[in-house]
């Protein structure tokens, strides 16, 4: 108990720095999965890659639902339920991260087989999705750390609400577009490639 209290107080005193550090670790893990610098996951076959892709879509839909529920509860000033919904969203996203890193690092990435306008639309949506995903990471982590280390009264004196609104908006767009790209892959068809670099074309 004393250790957890001390850790909470330390995070409370260094919230921004901890958020930056966690974000950097997350970015490094994703980059490592794409570049294969340090193999962290066992190899998987194409069928498992496609299975993971399907599960990831389900997780993203559940995460989006939890986010929207959390927004509803905070607007109703039901703080405890808001916190539960947001913690659920973060927990789901951690599950997504594990599967995503395993899928890419252990199997590869699925690339769309379409051409023409459909491919162009897919790449545009994918690019926006990736930008929103990257932007949402530090915002979400910072808002969550603020929320987990302070009381509701104390949060009113922080940037939690302002950062949280922006984080939810960017994260929601990322989730919606991530689901959209997955649907487009299924419509147009896709091929599995071992990822050696982050590419869009």
Q: How many whole angstroms separate alpha carbon 136 and alpha carbon 18? A: 16
Q: What is the structure's pLDDT at 2?
A: 67
User: Over the stretch 41-82, which tens digit does the pLDDT of each residue have?
Assistant: 889 999 999 999 999 999 999 999 999 999 999 999 999 999
Give DSSP secondary structure letters for 107-126.
T-EEEE---HHHHHHHHHHH
In this structure, what token pair is assigned to residue 109? Answer: 């990435």
- Could you tell me the mean pLDDT of each successive run of 10 residues in the chain, 201 residues long? 80 94 95 88 92 96 97 95 96 96 91 90 96 96 94 92 96 97 91 60 37
Q: What is the structure's pLDDT at 179?
A: 96
Task: Delineate the domains of the chain, giving CATH numbers in brackets.
Answer: 2-193 (1.20.120)
Give the side-chain half-sphere CA count within 13 A for 81: 11
């Amino acid at each position: 108990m004393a250790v957890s209290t001390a850790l909470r107080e330390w995070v409370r005193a260094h919230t921004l720095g901890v958020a930056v550090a966690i974000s950097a670790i997350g970015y490094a893990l994703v980059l490592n999965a794409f570049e294969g610098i340090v193999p962290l996951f066992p190899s998987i076959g194409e069928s498992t890659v496609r299975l993971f892709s399907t599960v990831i879509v389900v997780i993203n839909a559940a995460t989006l639902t939890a986010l929207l529920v959390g927004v509803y509860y905070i607007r109703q000033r039901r703080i405890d339920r808001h916190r539960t919904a947001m913690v659920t969203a973060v927990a789901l996203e951690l599950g997504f991260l594990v599967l995503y890193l395993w899928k890419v690092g252990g199997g590869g990435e699925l690339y769309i087989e379409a051409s023409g306008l459909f491919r162009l639309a897919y790449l545009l949506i994918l690019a926006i999705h990736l930008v929103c995903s990257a932007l949402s990471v530090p915002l979400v982590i910072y808002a969550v750390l603020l929320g987990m280390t302070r009381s509701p009264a104390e949060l009113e004196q922080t940037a939690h609400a302002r950062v949280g609104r922006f984080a939810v908006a960017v994260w929601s767009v990322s989730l919606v577009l991530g689901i959209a790209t997955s649907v487009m892959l299924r419509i147009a068809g896709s091929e599995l490639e071992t990822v050696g670099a982050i590419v869009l074309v």
